[in-house]
Amino acid sequence: GNKVTVVLGAQWGDEGKGKVVDLLATESDIVCRCQGGNNAGHTVVVDGKEYDFHLFPSGIINPKAISFIGNGVVIHLPGLFEEAEKNEKKGLKDWEKRLIISDRAHIVFDFHQAVDGLQEVQRQAQEGKNIGTTKKGIGPTYSSKAARTGLRICDLLSDFDEFSSRFKNLAQQYKSMFPTLEIDTEGQLKKLKGYAEKIRPMVRDGVYFMYEALHGSPKKILVEGANAALLDIDFGTYPFVTSSNCTVGGVCTGLGVPPQHVGDVYGVVKAYTTRVGIGAFPTEQINEIGDLLQSRGHEWGVTTGRKRRCGWLDLVILKYAHMINGFTALALTNMDILDVLDEIKIGVAYKLGGKRIPYFPANQEILQKVEVEYETMPGWKTDTTGARKWEDLPPKAQNYIRCVENHVGVPVKWVGVGKSRESMIQLF
């Protein structure tokens, strides 16, 4: 059968996955999303036009590819159509002919989004800190899913009366938990009925769709992970994480793909580290280095516009992501951001009480206390944005890449030195 190629974030997100996916999507037959929702933001630049995708798989630009939203994704229908409209204005055509949606995907309702905001306010008031969610209703929807009170696309498309009564029950539950929450039940149901007819032609049994894709004629199937390893609900820096599995296991559960069909797993790594919101960040630089990375890297979020915290590349995190995901190769992005530095540091180990630890600490408070052991390398002080092949990179930049490969034990397949498609150097 066919294998799926998987692209995953290896840090805290914002590694430039969109670019890698876009590169691979040009020759893919099917591009899939398996988890998360419109809390993700992938920017793809094609022919000088910048597209922002949140729910759509980035492959939607490719007129020859089918885009598939799997059962592990949570779907906010108004968000889906709003995103379609914005990208249509930029020249996206016929997307509804190329999009397939799993009937088992859960629906994000407007009240889930409202609750997301209210919960953040509550956390701020009670604990003096919030999680820093995107307020897109993702967490509350996965909560409904786990509590078995959620509603799925298949429910919306079958008996609407049954759907309506379950919708009203769920709305009522939330209103009793959050007395200030106002829900226009009838208004929302009316809108949902309209969306039902718009998406009906795109909805399929996702398990059967994937089965046919895997066992039919030879096809290139690409899976685009949203979020990243350290935001994973199980393996991330809990509780400052997202609510889905953004590591390789999410591919099997979020699409209905058996593990033997997983082929290459590409980890996307930024040449330094960034993090949105609060939580431990051992290699963070709250100084002029951090400021420089922030401004040179344009580090603010696609979905939220929030500034990202910046620091040196952390190989402990990378090795940890590799333990979980089993990367077959890496894409090292944003190398050009380091072009101006005199010296560059790489975090190679964590110490607790002066002793090196071989694992990545689960507990937040312990992670706050680790001491990072750095390796210092000379900077290359050369503009790399024009590099198109390995030989074009300065030797010191080549050393940096080799250092990452040696420590993690995974080859670097791509090096990114700019925004455009052309600025992804393929090494093998």
Q: Residue 175 has what pLDDT?
A: 95
Model pLDDT, residue 39: 81
Q: Which residues contact 52 (CB under 8 A, 6 or more apart)?
A: 41, 42, 43, 83, 86, 87, 302
145 is catalytic: yes
Q: How far is it, in rounded angstroms, from Cα 171 to Cα 185?
A: 8
State the Cα angle at 280 between 279 and 282, rounded to 5°.
150
E-strand ranges in 103-190 read 106-107
pLDDT band at 302 (very low <50, low <70, confident <90, very high): low
- Look at residue 381 and give its three-state secondary structure: coil
pLDDT given at position 50 = 84
Can you give the C-alpha Rg of the chain in angstroms?
22
Question: Which domains are delineated in the chain?
Answer: 4-102+203-266 (3.40.440.10), 107-199 (1.10.300.10), 269-426 (3.90.170.10)
Q: What is the DSSP letter of 128?
A: S
Catalytic residue, chosen from 17, 19, 145, 345, is 145
pLDDT at 250 exceeding the cut of 70: yes
Quick one: DSSP state of residue 229?
Answer: G
Mean pLDDT of all residues belonging to the chain? 94
* Residue 423, amino acid: S
312 or 133: which leads in pLDDT: 312
- pLDDT band per the 50, 70, 90 thresholds, residue 84: very high
Write down the pTM of the prediction. 0.95
* Contact present, 36 and 138 (Cβ < 8 Å): yes
Q: Which tokens hold the place of 275?
A: 């993090």
Q: How far apart are CA 103 and CA 100, in angstroms?
A: 9
CA 196 to chain centre: 27
Question: Residue 275 and residue 391: Cα distance in Å, rounded?
Answer: 32
> For the segment 90-148, what is each residue's pLDDT rounded down to a tens digit?
999 999 999 999 999 999 999 999 998 888 888 888 877 777 777 899 999 999 999 99
Token code pair at residue 67:
């885009």
- As a whole-number percent, the residues of the chain with pLDDT over 90 amount to 85
> 3-state class of 392 per DSSP?
helix
Both tokens of 187, joined, read: 């208004």
φ, ψ of residue 137 in degrees (nearest 5): 80, 10
The secondary structure of the chain in percent helix, strand, coil, rounded to multiples of 5, reads 40, 20, 40
The 10s digit of each residue's pLDDT in 381-415 is 999 999 999 999 999 999 999 999 999 999 999 99
- Whole-angstrom Cα distance, residue 70 to residue 170? 23
What's the rounded Cα separation, in Å, for the pair 59 and 277? Answer: 29
Residue with token string 């996965």: 142
Look at residue 294 and tell me whether its pLDDT is greater than 70.
yes
Task: Judge contact between 350 and 366, C-beta under 8 A.
Answer: no
Could you give the CA distance from residue 271 to residue 346 in angstroms, rounded to a whole number? Answer: 10
**Three-state secondary structure call for residue 289:** helix
Q: How far apart are the C-alpha atoms of 151 and 141, rounded to whole Å?
A: 9
Instruction: Compute the average pLDDT of residues 22-34.
Output: 94
